Amino acid sequence: MEELIKVQHDNDRITVLARDLHGFLEIESNFTTWFRRMCEYGFEEAKDFVPFLEESTGGRPATDYQITIEMAKEIAMIQRNEKGKLARQYFIQIEDDWNSPQKVMARALQMSQRELQTLRTENEEMKPLALFASAVKTSDDSILIGQLAKLIKQNGRDMGQNRLFAWMREEGYLCSKGENYNMPKQKSMDLGLMEIKERTVNNPDGSVRITKTTKITGKGQIYFVNKLCGEFNT
């Protein structure tokens, strides 16, 4: 089929440039006046046409419009001349070809391939944190908050140990005052995010003291990395 007017396939719809149509129809009035008059037939911006500025070749850039093929057909019919009739028949042929079973199947296949590629990309982005989560789930080791800060940095957010402590106090995961300062609050323990490791220390004078250290469980590591970095870095 001979190309009378260039058509474009954008976002799964067929469009035509209004200036190309204006030129083919050999309209005597200037483009701006003609297009404004065509719009009086009830065509709506964003639904039937989209304005844009052409690339400038040195002067002031001109406005053109991407119009749907449905709008182009109606405009061609409105002209009531041989050029209009020829353009309308041409657009009908373009539509028939576009809606043929072969073309519909080809577009569906392309869409499926794009969606599959998107899923593959998302899976690749998810792998690092997914592997981390899998490793942590099978580990019984709890870590210090300073070590958690390093894990969080590795997953895209650098906040440091002191800021992490402050954030946990502000968010209610750690006690913020008193003798239990920086110790896990009850909710952190109930959720299994933190634990307290006690250690007995023998002093030189023979006395014994017990030290307490806040540690992040495997479950807590996954929880805080996801919460602070965004689940799977999204």
Q: How many angstroms separate the Cα of 133 from the Cα of each of 46, 97, 190? A: 46, 51, 20
Give the total number of structural domains in the chain: 2
Q: In the predicted model, what is the mean pLDDT of residues 92-114?
A: 78
Place of tokens 């580990």: 139
Looking at the structure, tell me whether residues 220 and 172 fall in a common domain: yes
Q: How many angstroms separate the Cα of 132 from the Cα of each of 153, 196, 232? A: 13, 23, 10
Q: For the chain, give the percent of residues with pLDDT over 90.
A: 42
Q: In the predicted model, what is the mean pLDDT of residues 144-162?
A: 87
Q: Is the residue at 49 inside a domain?
A: yes
Q: b or e along 188-215 (b: 16 or more beta carbons within 10 Å of the residue's beta carbon)?
A: beeeebbeeeeeeeeeeeeeeeeeeebb
Q: In the predicted model, what is the mean pLDDT of residues 37-44?
A: 93
Looking at the structure, tell me whether residues 95 and 143 fall in a common domain: no
Of the ranges 7-16, 90-99, 211-220, which one carries the lowest mean pLDDT score? 7-16
Question: Which domain does 216 fall in, by range?
Answer: 135-233
**Residues whose CB falls within 8 Å of the CB of residue 102, separated by 6 or more in sequence, listed in order:** none
3-state DSSP percent of the chain in helix, strand and coil, to 5: 50, 20, 30
Confidence grade of residue 127 (pLDDT, cut at 50, 70, 90): low
Q: Is the residue at 106 inside a domain?
A: no
Q: Where is the domain boundary, 99, 118, 153?
A: 99
User: What integer best gives the mean pLDDT of the chain?
Assistant: 84
Tens digit of each residue's pLDDT (9 = 90 or more) over 156-171:
888 889 999 999 999 9
d(Cα 175, Cα 184) in Å, to the nearest integer? 6
Per this entry, what is the length of the chain?
234
**Cβ neighbourhood burial of 63 (10 Å; 0-12, 13-18, 19+):** middle
Confidence grade of residue 223 (pLDDT, cut at 50, 70, 90): confident
Q: What pLDDT was estimated at residue 232? A: 41
Looking at the structure, tell me whether residues 157 and 205 fall in a common domain: yes
Is 216's pLDDT higher than 50? Answer: yes
123 close to 130: Cβ distance less than 8 angstroms = no
Looking at the structure, tell me whether residues 171 and 215 fall in a common domain: yes
Q: Is the residue at 120 inside a domain?
A: no
Q: Is the residue at 84 inside a domain?
A: yes
Looking at the structure, tell me whether residues 90 and 152 fall in a common domain: no
Q: Is the residue at 74 inside a domain?
A: yes
Q: Is the residue at 207 inside a domain?
A: yes
Q: What are the backbone dihedrals phi and psi of residue 224, each rounded to the nearest 5 degrees, phi first?
A: -75, -35
Q: Is the residue at 117 inside a domain?
A: no
pTM (2 d.p.): 0.46
Looking at the structure, tell me whether residues 12 and 89 fall in a common domain: yes
Looking at the structure, tell me whether residues 31 and 79 fall in a common domain: yes
Looking at the structure, tell me whether residues 167 and 81 fall in a common domain: no
Q: What pLDDT was estimated at residue 119? A: 76
d(Cα 173, Cα 160) in Å, to the nearest integer? 17
219 close to 140: Cβ distance less than 8 angstroms = no
Confidence grade of residue 135 (pLDDT, cut at 50, 70, 90): very low
d(Cα 171, Cα 183) in Å, to the nearest integer? 13
Q: Is the residue at 104 inside a domain?
A: no
